[in-house]
Chain A
Amino acid sequence: MANFFSSPKGVVVAGLTLGLGASVLQKLGNPPNMGLCVACFGRDLAGSLGLHRAEVVQYARPEIFGLVLGAFVAALASGEFKPRAGSSPLIRLCLGFFVAIGALIFLGCPWRALLRLAGGDGNAILGLLGLIAGVYVGAAFIRRGFTLGASQKTVAAFGLAFVLLVLVLLALRLIYPPLPLAAKNDVLFYSLKGPGSLRAPLWASLSLALIIGFVGQRSRFCSISAIQNVLLFREFHFLWGVVGFVVAAWVANLAFGQFHPGFVKQPIAHSLYFWNFFGLAVVGFGCSLAGGCPLRQLFLAGEGDADAGVFVLGLLFGLAMAHNFAAAASGDGLGLHSQAVGIFSLAMILLIAIFGRPVKPATA
Chain B
Amino acid sequence: MAAIDARGLSCPQPLMMAQAALAKDSGPVVIIVDSESAVESVLRVLAREKREVAVTRSGQETTITAGPKSK
Contacts and interface: CB of A to CB of B under 8 A. Distances in A.
Contacts of B45: 233, 235
Interface residues of A, number: 28
A23 to B, nearest CB: 26
Interface string A281-321: 00000000011100000000000000000000000000000
Contacts of A323: none
Contacts, number: 58
A138 B23 CA distance: 22
A315 to B, nearest CB: 16
B19 A233 contact: yes
A152 B7 CA distance: 9
Interface in B17-51: 19, 34-37, 40-41, 44-45, 48
Contacts of B9: 147, 150-151
User: Interface SS of chain B: helix, strand, loop or mixed?
Assistant: helix
Contacts of A139: 12
A87 B10 contact: yes
A220 B45 CA distance: 16
A91 to B, nearest CB: 12
Interface residues of B, number: 20
Contacts of A112: none
Given A3-B36, A82-B60, A143-B16, A237 B8 contact: no
B12 A3 contact: no
B64 interface: no
B44 A237 contact: yes
A142 B11 CA distance: 10
Contacts of A150: 7-9
Interface stretch (A37-45, A98-106, A224-232, A255-263): A224-232
Contacts of A225: 11-12
B12 to A, nearest CB: 6
Contact of B35 (A82, A143, A222, A229): A82
A142 B12 contact: yes
Contact of B41 (A82, A152, A229): A229
Contact of A148 (B10, B12, B60): B10
A232 B16 contact: yes
Contacts of A199: none
A290 B40 CA distance: 20
A214 to B, nearest CB: 15
A233 B13 contact: no
A37 B41 CA distance: 26
A332 interface: no
Interface string A334-364: 0000000000000000000000000000000
Interface string A101-144: 00000000000000000000000000000000000000100110
17 contacts: A3-B36, A6-B40, A80-B36, A82-B60, A87-B8, A142-B12, A151-B8, A153-B60, A220-B41, A225-B11, A228-B12, A229-B41, A235-B44, A237-B44, A291-B10, A291-B12, A291-B13
